Amino acid sequence: MSTPASNSSSWPLATWLSVVSLTFGSFALISSELLPMAVLTPMAADLGISEGAAGQAVTLTALFAGIAAPTVALIIGRVDRKLINLALCALVIASNIAVAFTSDYFMLLAARMLLGVAIGGFFALAGATVVRLVTMEDMGKGMSIVFMGLSAGLVVAPALATLIGEAFGWRAAFVAAAACGLLALLLQAVCLPRVPAAGATSLSSLFGLLKRRPVRVGLVVGLLFFGGEVSGFTFMRPYLETNGGLSATSIAPVLLVLGLASLLGSAVAGVFADRVLREGFAATFLMLAVATVGLLALSDAYVAIFVFAAAWGMAIGAGPVMTQTWMARAAPDQLEGVGGLFLAVIQLGVTLGAIAGGIAVDLVGTSAPLYVTAICAVLAAILIATQQAPDGASQSAALAMDPAE
């Protein structure tokens, strides 16, 4: 039996390996989710469908992730969470293999639904699993390591999938994604200890979470953050082309810097989340607002674009870690239930952000989605700054959670 460490600097090797195995899981999931974007044109041509229809493979995945997030927490009962994580990894493998070998559009959509279930289940349970491995006091650090896999996937997956697709065909890219899922499954099978359930989530307890003010605040902030981020990021390239006068060749390094900075943001966010959650949270949103305003004001200065893109990336990398830690401390006795609600709100925010950005572009122009980002970031910063940070760390000892074995 391994007990969670009380301080990240004293984690035993087994704890590090168990957390890192979850990092590979998040990398496999986000890589698989984004994969159709990188091979959309050849995939659509091969299947004999329009690019718009092929793009629904991403939309459907996000939809089912939002539905699965709270549902998985309700139906898994007290099953060992290690077994659940392994089953979710198996879904990633099955989904990608099915897409790689199908010639039927509806089979492709069904396979992507499976991936959505895996994404929803994994991220709904991630916070609770990390807490069982490292304790509430170190949750921010643990989640920052897990979310580094997500940030790395955002940086690496689209480019690597494009290269694989060009060299070996779009189906090979999905086989590669299945291999990532297999690696995550093997690592978790070997490195992840047994994670007995601390309790089962009921429908009444799920709705009961909405009565807690810190939970409601976290959900609203999550909606603002993810909605604002997606609104701006979706239309970042058109904005830089139209307002910055940049070519595709010039934009690529900017997006690379943004992606690498998001990886750094995920890495350092845990320290602030564990020590100064409210202040670090508010500062994250202020950074996002300032960086967005900087991009709007200095879009014709290439060096300035790099600086503000890096700040933008750090903020969007830190935001998920901060939000997940806030939600966990707001409901330390219902970590899986609050994780499910949180992920459902993320998917709603992503959907609303994309819709708002599209409407803003059509009505005002390519700069409008970035104004949406800035406004959402300012509102989130104000909301967090006026709240008292939830103190889940002091409550966690009273929960008497059995350590992972």
Please check whether residue 41 is in contact with residue 164, taking contact to mean a CB–CB distance below 8 angstroms. no
Let me know if 210 is exposed, middle or buried by CB neighbors in 10 A (0-12, 13-18, 19+).
Answer: exposed
- Residue ranges of the domains in the chain? 8-200, 203-394
**Distance from C-alpha of 196 to C-alpha of 374, rounded to nearest angstrom:** 42
- The torsion angle over the Cα atoms of residues 150, 152, 2 and 327, rounded to 10 degrees, is -30
What's the CATH number for 203-394?
1.20.1250.20
Asked whether 253 and 376 are in contact (CB, 8 A), the reply is no
CA atoms of 96 and 170, how far apart (whole Å): 12
| Angle, CA 345 vertex, CA 341 and CA 349 arms, to 5° | 175
Domain 8-200 shares a fold with domain 203-394: yes
Q: How high is the pLDDT of residue 4?
A: 47
**Torsion over CA of 35, 308, 282 and 215, rounded to 10 degrees?**
-20
pTM: 0.77
pLDDT given for residue 392 in this prediction: 57
Q: What is the mean pLDDT of each run of 10 residues along the chain (405 residues)?
A: 49 92 93 82 86 76 83 80 93 96 91 92 86 84 87 80 87 95 96 78 74 90 89 80 79 82 87 85 92 87 89 90 86 81 82 81 85 93 87 46 45
pLDDT at 395: 45
Q: Which CATH class is domain 8-200?
A: mainly alpha
